[in-house]
Amino acid sequence: MIYDYYNNMKILKLKHKTFYLSFIFLIIYGFLSFFLKKRYAEKSCNRQKLFKSGRWNMPASIQALERQGPPEIHYIPYRKDEITYPESDGRPMADNTKQFNWIVKIKEGLEVMFADRPDVFVAGDLLWYPVKGDNKKRAAPDAMVVFGRPKGHRGAYIQYKEEDIAPQVVFEVLSPGNTKAEMKKKLGFYRQYGVEEYYIYDPDNITFEGWLRTSGKLLKIKKIQGWTSPRLGIRFELTDEELFIYRPDGQKFLSFVETEEKAVKAQKQAEKERIQREQAQKQAEKAEALANQEKKRAEMLAEKLIKLGISLDDL
C-alpha cells in the first residue's frame, strides 16, 4: 500500500511539472507572436512611407505601373441595329430545266457582252437587299445588271454597301409555279426600289413583256416586238417558237449547248479551210515545178540548136 501511495505521488508531481511547462510555453509563444506582429506592422508602415516618398528602390515594373496609374476601361457598345443579310431564301433557282436554261442563257449572255467592262456587275438569282437594316425586304431576280459597280463574288447584293446603287435592269423567267399575285408583288418591288428596265419571259407560253422607267414611273412597254434596251443595247425578237436576243454587234445570245456546237462547227470549218489552203499550196508548188521543168527543157533545146548552128529566129 505504501508502494502504491508512492507511485501516485510520483505521477501527481509529473502532471504538475507538465502543466507548468505547458503554461510557460504558452506565455513564451504569446509573447513572441505579439512581438513579431508588431515588428511586421512597423516594417510595413515604413515600407509604405518609403513607397510614397520615392526613397525606396522599387523594381522597374512596379515603378512603371505606379506612373501609369489605374488602367483605363474601354466599353464596347452593343449595337442593336446590327443584323445579318441571309444569302439564301431557301427557294430553288429554277422550277424546271427549261426555266433554268433560259436563266443561264440570259445571265451568261450578259456576262459575255460586258466582259470588258469592269464597272458592270452581272448576277443571276442573287438576293438583293435595297433597304439598310431591313432583311425582310428583298428579291432575287433571275438575272440583273448593275452599272457602276465592280465585278466580283457576292453572297448577296446589299445596296447600302454598294454606294446605294440599285440594279438598273432585271429579268424574270417564268415557270408554271409562278402566280399572278407573286409577279404583281415583284413588279411593285422593282417599281418601288428604282429598277429602270424590267423584262419577263414565259418560255412555256412564248410571251414577253417589258417595263421602262419614264419620268420616275416604271411603265409597261406597249410595242415590245423588236424592242432595243436603252441601257443594254440588246434587241428582242419574239417568234412563234421562242425569244431571240441579239447583242449590239448582231450576235445572238446562245445557250451552252449552242455555244459548244458553234465552236465545234467553227473548228471544223477552220480545219476544212486549212486543208484547202494546204491543197492549194501543194497544187501551186506542183504547177511551179512543172513550169520550171518546161523552162529548163526549152533552155536545153535552145543550146543544142545554137550548137548545130540553127538560129532560133529562123524557126
pLDDT tens-digit series, residues 55-76: 555 566 655 655 666 656 555 5
pLDDT of residue 78: 46
pLDDT digits (tens, 9 = 90+) for 1-59: 554 545 555 565 665 666 667 777 778 877 777 767 666 666 666 655 555 555 555 56
Q: Which three cell numbers stand for residue 250?
A: 448582231
pLDDT of residue 3: 47
Q: Residue type at 222?
A: K
CATH code linked to domain 97-254: 3.90.1570.10
pLDDT of residue 304: 77
pLDDT of residue 291: 87
* pTM of this structure: 0.62
pLDDT of residue 38: 65
- Which of 219, 215, 165, 157 lies closest to 187, judged by CA? 219
Cα separation, 26 vs 33, whole angstroms: 10
- Give the start-to-end residue ranges of the domains of the chain: 2-66, 97-254, 266-314
Q: How would you write the pLDDT of the chain (315 residues) with one tens digit per residue?
A: 554 545 555 565 665 666 667 777 778 877 777 767 666 666 666 655 555 555 555 566 655 655 666 656 555 554 545 689 988 777 776 778 899 999 999 999 999 999 999 999 999 999 999 999 999 999 999 999 999 999 999 999 999 999 999 999 999 999 888 899 999 999 999 999 999 999 999 999 999 999 999 999 999 999 999 999 999 999 999 999 999 999 999 999 998 777 777 777 778 888 888 888 888 888 888 888 888 888 888 778 777 777 777 766 665
How many residues are listed for the chain in this entry?
315
Contact 152, 120 (CB under 8 A): no
Q: Which three cell numbers stand for residue 26?
A: 504558452
The torsion angle over the Cα atoms of residues 149, 155, 158 and 161, rounded to 10 degrees, is -60
Q: Which three cell numbers stand for residue 75?
A: 466599353
